[in-house]
């Protein structure tokens, strides 16, 4: 997911280009605006964290782009491409190093496991298996 800061900043095209050039196939793609309830559901795993409220506010503050991506070793390779959660710690050339402003407003989300990738794909695309 390209987060509201990066979409509002006009970086969607550059980020999608970087994703494709890294060898990911875009299987499904959608521009949308999450409600407070949808953002809460998406990040429900962080409900007890001190930053949850501001995270939900941020994620519902503007348009996002959701994508389902396909590649061998996709989860690990995508997390390498996007870089550390904190852009100050992210490697040069990563999406977060290039476009994130802070650990909170950090431009992009990547699934953390194959299992969660399937859940998150289903969150945005009810029939995404058929796009494949
Ligand atoms: P994401 O799940 O968005 O890909 P991540 O897996 O790198 O990010 P998580 O630990 O899952 O990091 O945190 C989810 C999101 O919550 C982060 O991307 C960031 O937007 C926000 N976040 C994480 N840690 C902090 C923090 N210490 N302060 C503020 N916001 C935070
Ligand atoms: Mg995460």
Give mean pLDDT, residues 117-129.
90
Catalytic option among 11, 33, 46, 109: 109
d(CA 55, CA 45): 12
Q: What is the mean pLDDT of the chain?
A: 96
How far is CA 129 from each of CA 17, 43, 124, rounded to the nearest angstrom? 23, 22, 12
The pLDDT, as a whole number, for residue 50 is 97
Q: What is the pLDDT of residue 65?
A: 98
Structure tokens at 86: 């904190």
109 classed as catalytic: yes
Strand boundaries in the chain, DSSP class E: 25-32, 64-70
**Structure tokens that stand for 3 in this block:** 């987060």
Residue 123 contacts residue 20 (beta carbons within 8 Å): no
Whether residue 69 has pLDDT greater than 80: yes
CATH superfamily of this structure's domain 4-131:
Nucleoside diphosphate kinase-like domain (3.30.70.141)
pLDDT of the residue at 130: 73
pLDDT above 80: residue 132 = no
């Amino acid at each position: 997911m390209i987060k509201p800061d990066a979409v509002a900043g006009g970086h969607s095209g550059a980020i999608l280009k970087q994703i494709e050039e890294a060898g990911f196939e875009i299987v499904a793609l959608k521009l949308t605006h999450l409600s407070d309830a949808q953002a809460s559901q998406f990040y429900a795993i962080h409900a007890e964290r001190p930053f949850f409220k501001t995270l939900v506010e941020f994620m519902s503050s503007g348009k996002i782009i959701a994508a389902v991506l396909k590649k061998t070793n996709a989860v690990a390779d995508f997390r390498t491409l996007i870089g550390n959660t904190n852009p100050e710690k992210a490697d040069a050339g990563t999406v977060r190093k290039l476009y994130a402003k802070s650990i909170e407003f950090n431009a992009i989300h990547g699934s953390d496991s194959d299992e969660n990738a399937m859940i998150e794909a289903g969150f945005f695309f009810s029939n995404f298996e058929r796009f494949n």
